[in-house]
């Protein structure tokens, strides 16, 4: 079984949706097709939700009306026959009635999450009927029946697997199953989601749950590039990555993959292939247990980082001190990304600053605290980073004109992390592209 995921741009235009149907039909064997919402839809639903939370009803209704026009145009071009035009209109009218219903009642966080889920529900329904019109035998597999997260928002992989198995056995004679990315149920059985960009994560969770042959992520670029193509002009695709390398890149900001995508795939050794819907012949990237050796493979950057420095000449070297510091972050369920220590101080970085003021309040008991916000982690990924001489020389030489706030090196063979002020990020990515990739 293959799990094939198509992102927003891959389904964002009627001709593209038709194209991915062709693509799926050329793939051998059984497949589960995971779809995102049409490009722009989730952003629009977020804006509608924000308007409704803030009780800006007119603005919300304007957005709903514009989105409805977009969908009416979409079905008009997607379906050929009158019968399917009518089906398309019924689908659009049903979803937009629901939006207006949600907008009319008490709009809380739960309604917001229900609203956000509609993008994937409508895209899969439209695609499924497109396959029907082409007389392709397929089924809709409702993600809300099997995809779940626990009270810590962590996907319940074993339960997902147990729920999927009997469903797949029943649908044994069907080659194409279409399901929604991104959406799930939470521990209260409410509709929830896997956070923005979460359709990649859905594909990987399904792939791991059913021990698929391969997970394919089809998007608008020919694989993982060596640097962020939105910021750096000359970037090149990477043919092979190990799970560890891809995991670091996804976690540290390579937008092509949701930060957690690699985790379930790696657990069950299911290879992940990144492919370009706009150029299906392009090789893309294969992510697996194996990987080619190469000193520097790629760079990614993650914004919105806060650095916290704790200075305590009395206690820092005492054993048990760092444990106490880490326990504060643990109590607030806030992961630490980077750490650097000196004799009198320790610096850590976090990207979730929701509980920052409570964390700082507790840390003040340990010493003097300094906080730098608007920082970015630049993560350089490769292998043999610890074995070769001159690795840091090349990196620091490239970054000679960039002020560096923190460095983390030696934690693994795969990663050098560098913290810079976000206003230095673009410059740093470009300098590293020239300095270490010679592009
Ligand atoms: P989808 O809608 O298919 O999920 P995304 O927009 O989430 O697509 O991800 C694809 C985009 O990720 C690319 O268009 C590219 O701009 C961006 N991107 C950022 N970093 C990288 C990278 N290192 N390699 C490839 N693409 C990247
Ligand atoms: N539609 C969701 C988003 O835009 C999930 C995804 O596209 O992966 O975030
Ligand atoms: Mg994405």
User: Is the same domain home to 96 and 210?
Assistant: yes
Same domain, 303 and 169: no
Whether pLDDT at 343 is above 70:
yes
pLDDT of residue 257: 97
Same domain? For 13 and 151 the reply is yes
pTM, 2 dp:
0.95
Q: What is the mean pLDDT of the segment spanning 382-386?
A: 75
Q: Using 50, 70 and 90 to split pLDDT, how confident is the model at 189?
A: very high
205 and 307 inside one domain:
no
State yes or no: pLDDT of 356 exceeds 80: yes
Q: Among all ligands shown, which has an atom nearest to the Cα of 116? A: 2
Q: Given a cut of 70, is residue 317 above it in pLDDT?
A: no
Instruction: Based on the fold, state whether residues 199 and 62 are members of the same structural domain.
Output: yes
CB 351 within 8 A of CB 300: no
Which residue's CA is the closest to the ligand 2 atom numbered 9? Answer: 196
**Contact by Cβ (8 Å): 118, 99:** yes
254 part of a folded domain: no
Domain boundary pick from 203, 220, 237: 220
Which residue, of 220, 248, 279, is where some domain finishes?
220
Are 305 and 190 within one domain?
A: no
**What pairing do the DSSP bridges indicate for beta strands 272-276 and 214-219?**
parallel
Instruction: Domain count for the chain, please give it.
Output: 2
* Mean pLDDT on 323-331: 94
What is the structure's pLDDT at 313? 65
In a domain, residue 255? The reply is: no
Q: What pLDDT sits at residue 107?
A: 97
CATH number, domain with residue 414: 3.30.2130.10
Is 263 a member of any domain? no
Nearest ligand by distance to the CA of 220: 1
Instruction: Indicate whether 322 and 182 sit together in one domain.
Output: no
Residue 68 contacts residue 96 (beta carbons within 8 Å): yes
Whether the predicted pLDDT of 432 surpasses 90:
yes
Q: What is the CATH number of the domain that holds 62?
A: 3.40.1160.10
Distance, CA of 413 to CA of 295 (rounded, Å): 10
User: Is-contact 208 265, C-beta < 8 A?
Assistant: yes
* Summary mean pLDDT of the chain: 95
Residue-level pLDDT at 321 = 83
In a domain, 204, yes or no: yes
153: left (phi over 0), alpha (psi -120 to 50) or beta: left
DSSP state of 210: T
pLDDT at 35 over 80: yes
Within this chain, do residues 57 and 163 fall inside the same structural domain, yes or no?
yes
Tens digits of per-residue pLDDT, 214-252? 999 999 999 999 999 999 999 999 999 999 999 999 999
Percent of the chain at pLDDT above 90? Answer: 90
Spatial strand order in the sheet of 240-242: 138-141, 176-180, 31-35, 2-6, 214-219, 272-276, 285-288, 240-242
Q: Write the pLDDT tens digit of every residue in 87-97.
A: 999 999 999 99
Q: How far is the CA of 179 from the centre of ligand 2 (A)?
A: 14
Kindly report the protein residue whose alpha carbon is nearest to atom 4 of ligand 2: 42
Which pLDDT does position 411 carry in this prediction? 83
Same domain? 399 vs 311? yes
Beta strands in 55-206 (DSSP E): 138-141, 176-180, 183-185, 191-193
Asked if 312 and 187 sit in the same domain, the reply is no
Q: Give the contacts of 372 (CB within 8 A, at least 6 positions apart).
A: 306, 307, 309, 405, 421
Count CA atoms within 13 Å of residue 430 on its CB side: 10
Give 138's strand partners.
Answer: 176
Among 105-119, 300-314, 336-350, the range of highest mean pLDDT = 105-119
| Same domain flag for 47 and 186 | yes
CA distance 94 to 258: 30
Measure Cα distances from 23 to 13, 19, 217, 345, 422 in Å: 15, 6, 13, 56, 40
What is the pLDDT at residue 344?
82
Residue 312 confidence (pLDDT) above 90: no
Question: Residue 414: its pLDDT value, please?
Answer: 87
Report the atom number in ligand 1 closest to the C-alpha of 225: 24
Can you list the positions of beta strands (E) in 203-352? Answer: 214-219, 240-242, 272-276, 285-288, 296-311, 339-341, 345-350
pLDDT at 315 over 70: no
Q: Phi, psi at residue 366, to the nearest 5°?
A: -100, -15
Select from 9, 43, 124, 198 the residue to mutate for testing ligand 2; criterion: most ligand atoms less than 8 Å from CB.
198
Task: State yes or no: pLDDT of 380 exceeds 80.
Answer: yes
Q: Does the residue 92 lie in any domain?
A: yes
Question: 324 vs 122, which has greater pLDDT?
Answer: 122
Q: What percent of the chain has pLDDT over 70?
A: 98
- Tell whether 25 is covered by a domain: yes
Query: Can you tell me the distance from the alpha carbon of 52 to that of 111, in angstroms, rounded to the nearest whole number?
Result: 10
Domain closes at, from 220, 252, 269: 220
DSSP string, 374-425: EEEEEEEEESSTTTSTTHHHHHHHHTTTS---EEEESSSSSEEEEEEEGGGH
The verdict on 198 and 318 lying in the same domain is no
Is residue 197 in contact with ligand 2, taking CB distance under 6 Å?
Answer: yes
In a domain, 234, yes or no: no
Residue 253 domain-assigned (yes or no): no
For 396, the domain range is 298-437
Query: Which pLDDT belongs to residue 384?
Result: 66
Each residue of 150-174: pLDDT tens digit?
Answer: 999 999 999 999 999 999 999 999 9
């Amino acid at each position: 079984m293959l799990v094939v995921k198509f992102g927003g741009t891959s389904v964002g235009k009627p001709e593209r949706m038709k194209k991915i149907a062709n693509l799926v039909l050329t793939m051998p064997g059984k497949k589960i097709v995971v779809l995102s919402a049409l490009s722009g839809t989730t952003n629009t639903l977020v804006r509608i939700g924000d308007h409704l939370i803030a009780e800006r009803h007119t603005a919300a209704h304007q957005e709903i009306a514009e989105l409805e026009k977009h969908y009416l145009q979409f079905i008009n071009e997607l379906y050929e026959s009158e019968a399917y035009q009518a089906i398309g209109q019924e689908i659009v009218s049903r979803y937009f009635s629901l939006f207006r219903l949600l907008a009319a009642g008490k709009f809380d966080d739960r309604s917001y999450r229900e609203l956000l889920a509609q993008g994937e529900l409508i895209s899969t329904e439209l695609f499924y009927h497109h396959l029907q019109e082409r007389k392709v035998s397929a089924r809709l597999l409702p993600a809300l029946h099997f995809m779940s997260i626990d009270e810590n928002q962590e996907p319940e992989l074993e339960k997902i697997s147990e729920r999927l198995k009997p469903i797949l056995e029943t649908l044994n004679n069907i080659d194409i199953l279409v399901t929604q990315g991104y959406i799930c149920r939470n521990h209260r059985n409410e509709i929830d989601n896997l956070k923005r960009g979460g359709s990649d994560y859905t594909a990987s969770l399904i792939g791991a749950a059913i021990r698929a042959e391969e997970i394919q992520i089809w998007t608008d670029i020919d694989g993982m590039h060596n640097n962020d193509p939105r910021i750096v002009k000359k970037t090149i695709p990477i043919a092979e990555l190990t799970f560890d390398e891809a995991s670091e890149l996804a976690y540290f900001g390579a937008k092509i993959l949701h930060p957690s995508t690699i985790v379930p795939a790696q657990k069950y050794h299911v290879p992940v292939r990144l492919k370009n819907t706009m150029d299906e012949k392009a090789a893309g990237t294969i992510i697996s247990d194996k990987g080619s050796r190469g000193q520097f493979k790629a760079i990614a950057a993650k914004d919105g980082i806060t650095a916290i420095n704790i200075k305590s000449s009395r206690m820092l070297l005492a054993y048990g001190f760092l444990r106490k510091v880490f326990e504060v972050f643990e109590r607030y369920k806030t992961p630490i990304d980077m750490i650097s220590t000196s004799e009198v101080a320790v610096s850590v970085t976090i990207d979730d600053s929701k509980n920052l003021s409570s964390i700082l309040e507790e840390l003040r008991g340990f010493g003097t605290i300094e906080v730098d916000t608007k920082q970015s982690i630049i993560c350089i990924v490769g292998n043999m980073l610890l074995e070769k001489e001159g690795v840091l020389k090349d990196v620091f030489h490239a970054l000679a004109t960039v002020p560096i706030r923190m460095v983390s090196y030696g934690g693994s063979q795969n990663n050098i992390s560098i913290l810079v002020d976000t206003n230095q990020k673009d410059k740093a990515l470009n300098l590293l592209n020239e300095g270490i990739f010679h592009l």
